[in-house]
Every structure is written in structure tokens, then in C-alpha cells.
Amino acid sequence: MALNKQSNVYTIIYIVVLVVAVGAALAFTSLSLKDRQVENANADKMRQILASAHITPEKGKVVDDYNKYITESFIVNSEGNRIDGEAFDVNVEAQSKTADEARRALPVYVCTLADGTSKYILPVYGAGLWGPIWGYVSLDSDGSTLFGAYFAHQGETPGLGAEIEKPAFSDQFEGLHMFKDGQFLPVAVVKKGQKPTGDEDYVDGISGGTITSKGVGSMLDNCLRPYESFLRTLSTETK
């Protein structure tokens, strides 16, 4: 009996077999490469954390440098008390979306620089225009002065919103203060030439990247505000 290759039954069986075969091949590849991929993603995260403290590791030395500079990492809650868990494994995206700030787990990375000073690195996560934006800000041990910042994005417009990842934008944060006369005010991002309504320190947004710039502002506000108690303790400790 000749097989009718144009019949519906043949077509359906053909495509089912094909899809199952391709699916099995993909599942196998994914499983066998998973470990390496996770390793790469972690190394990239470490690179970003270090970048916020102005450390640029050489290629292939990211993990070594991370272990060298990041001397401690822990999680705090919104009252500033340490809670159990591994800071590196905290999903900052999920935490930033938890509306109840009191229930957030807040990772802190302590970075000890070559000159012996400690910097506190806090992760932030928010939304830009086209997709997520995230970053890390590093603070001096007084819990108020910004030492550096690193921002990254998934798909902001090149030349406009995407400029947030450039040093020209993130370097503006250096030396700004989060505490003003004992009040906690995260840094604002405003249009060039304007000033924020409050008393907080501010940086200039990116011309043509207004929504991304505003996204950075609200990301800092949303993600840094829960750290207030922790940073306040830091600032009183060092005084």
C-alpha cells in the first residue's frame, strides 16, 4: 500500500514526531549546558556588582576578584536587622515588586577596597521604557555618600534610554548624599536644568530618554527606601 503523503493523518503524525524529536534534542542541550550557563550568568552578576565600586576585573578573573573584594554579604530586613539567607541568591526583581516593604529581603554586599575602606553595595531593580532596568549602587561606610553606581538595561533605545549604562550618566552619582539633615532622601533623576521638588540630591536625566530616566529615579526610590533603617544605623555607627 502506497503511503499517501498528502493525507491529514500522515501530516499530523509527521509533525508530531518531528516536534517531539526536536523538543527532545533541545531539552537535552539545555540540560547538559545548564551548569556552564548559570556559572556565566553568576560571573556576569559579580562583574556588575564590582563595577558599581569602580572595579573592572580582567577577563576570566571575575570570580577571583569578587571573592577578593567582596568580603561579606548578608541580607537585612526593612528594620535593618540581619536575616538568614545568601545575599547572592536573592531575586531582586521579585523583592522590588513586593509592595509591603517590611517583608522584603534586602541584600547587602560589603566591598573592601585595596586602601582598606569598606563600601556597601545595594542592588536595585525597576522598569525602563521597553523593559527592565537594574543596577548596583555603592555607598561609603557612612551610609549616606554615594561612591559609585552601575546601571544596565535589557532593551532601552540605543543612544537615548540606553545611555544609562554609560559612565557619563552613572558617574554623576558619585559623592551625592542620601541623608539630608537626618532625613532619608534617595537621589532623584530630573530633567536637565530642573530641580527636584524636595531637598534631595539629584542628577540630570538623559535628553530624549525621559521615561528611562524617570524609571531610574523611581527604581532608586523604590529599592533604596527599605534600606533606610540599615543605612541610618551605619551612619550613626561611624559618627
Partner 1 sequence: MAEKINYKEVFFNPFSKNNPVVVQVLGICSVLAVTAKLEPALVMGLSVIAVLAFSNVIISLLRNTIPTNIRIIVQLVVVAGLVVIVDQLLKAYAYDVSKQLSVFIGLIITNCILMGRLEAFAMGNRPWPSFLDGVGNGCGYAIILVIVGFFRELLGSGTLFGCQVIPQWCYDHGYTNNGLMILPPMALIVVACIIWVHRSRNKDLQEQ
Site residues (CB under 8 A) for partner 1?
A: 5-6, 10-11, 14-15, 18-19, 22, 25-26, 29-30, 33, 36-37, 40-41, 43-44, 159
CB of 46 to partner 1, least distance (A): 12
Q: Which of 75, 237, 54 is nearest to 136 (CA)?
A: 54
Cβ proximity to partner 1, 16 vs 83, nearer residue: 16
CB 105 within 8 A of CB 75: yes
92 phi, psi to nearest 5 deg: -65, -30
CB of 59 to partner 1, least distance (A): 8
Angle between helices 8-51 and 62-69 (to 10 degrees): 40
CB of 8 to partner 1, least distance (A): 9
CB of 14 to partner 1, least distance (A): 6
Q: Which grid coordinates are listed for 103? A: 517583608
Cβ proximity to partner 1, 22 vs 94, nearer residue: 22
CB of 113 to partner 1, least distance (A): 25
Cβ proximity to partner 1, 26 vs 168, nearer residue: 26
Cβ density class 91-115: b for 16+ within 10 Å, e for less = ebeebbeeeebeebbbbbbbbeeee
Q: Label residue 165 left, alpha or beta by phi (over 0 means left) and psi (-120 to 50 means alpha).
A: alpha
Cβ proximity to partner 1, 25 vs 94, nearer residue: 25
DSSP, res 77: -
Cβ proximity to partner 1, 63 vs 113, nearer residue: 63
